[in-house]
Amino acid sequence: MAKRLGLTPFHELLAHSIAADPTMRAVADALDGVLNAATRAIPNVLLYARLARDTGFVEPVPMLAPLTRLAEQSGGLAELSAELLDLLAWQLHVEGYEAAVNAQAKREMISASLLLHRGRGTPWAVRNGLESALRIPATVSEWFDYGGKPYFFRVRLDVSQSAWGESMAADAVRLIFDNKNVRSWLDCLETATRRPLPVSVALGGVSRTLTRPRLWFPPVTPPPLPIRAAVASRGVTRSGVSPVGPAPRPPRPRRMAGFAAKIITRSALCPMI
């Protein structure tokens, strides 16, 4: 029958030849308290498993089933103390460890120390060294990226969310020189700050009326008049009186006189509208 570590009394592990001895049974029972305490302390020795769980920088390797059960019995893996972090940093020779801004930065620097040692002298090492220690975004641009001199590079730090000061600037320069290669030279260290500004968006309308006085004469539409056609006649009458008499004759003793009227009529046709 399988025995589980931490759940099996010590007397069950004794050989049959001595398991029935009352003295040996009493000794085994007395050791249970000491052995159980030592067994529950085993998860505290799993330093790198605890470091991987706290940082997430390196995917933790699944523990053996007995160790997993012991960790669950002891309330889970405990966080690494500040003293243990300092010892691990000394053991792994973490460059720029003193520039870490908080405990989480120290954990990430220790967790990434092996990779940084392998990639030291590359832009990746410079960028990750700055981001792990200072907890701010960093960008590394080589000379051919911005048209600079050969073997020079620039570093840009986004300090929008950090309390940037003289001491942090000195730490940044020290971290850069710890992780760059020997033939490369720092051209400049730039810092950028971005502050969100509240922006209110509204929609409005503006109307403008231009008034220009001028004379205006409305068009006169003649009223409709009925058209009628008619024919009229006009008569002009001219009258005159002239004496008419016979040819003169020699006077006679008895003379007679008379008058005649002559009427001349002229007519014309014209339309009436």
Torsions phi, psi of 198, nearest 5?
-65, 130
Nearest to residue 117, comparing CAs of 143, 148, 94?
Answer: 94
Residues 69-122: tens digit of each pLDDT = 777 777 777 788 899 899 999 998 998 888 888 888 898 889 888 888 888 899
Bridge pairing between strands 152-158 and 138-142: antiparallel
Helix (H, G, I), strand (E, B), or coil: what is residue 121? coil
pTM of the model: 0.54
- Burial status of residue 201 (CB atoms within 10 A of its CB: 0-12, 13-18, 19 or more): exposed
- Residue 235 pLDDT exceeds 60: no
pLDDT for position 270: 46
Per-domain boundaries in the chain: 93-193
Class of domain 93-193 as given by CATH: mainly alpha
Could you write out the DSSP letters of every residue in 164-195?
Answer: --HHHHHHHHHHHHHHS-TT-EEEEEEEE---
Mean pLDDT for the stretch of residues 226-236? 55
- Residue 160 pLDDT exceeds 80: yes
Residues 32-84: tens digit of each pLDDT = 777 777 777 777 778 887 887 777 655 556 777 777 777 777 777 778 889 98
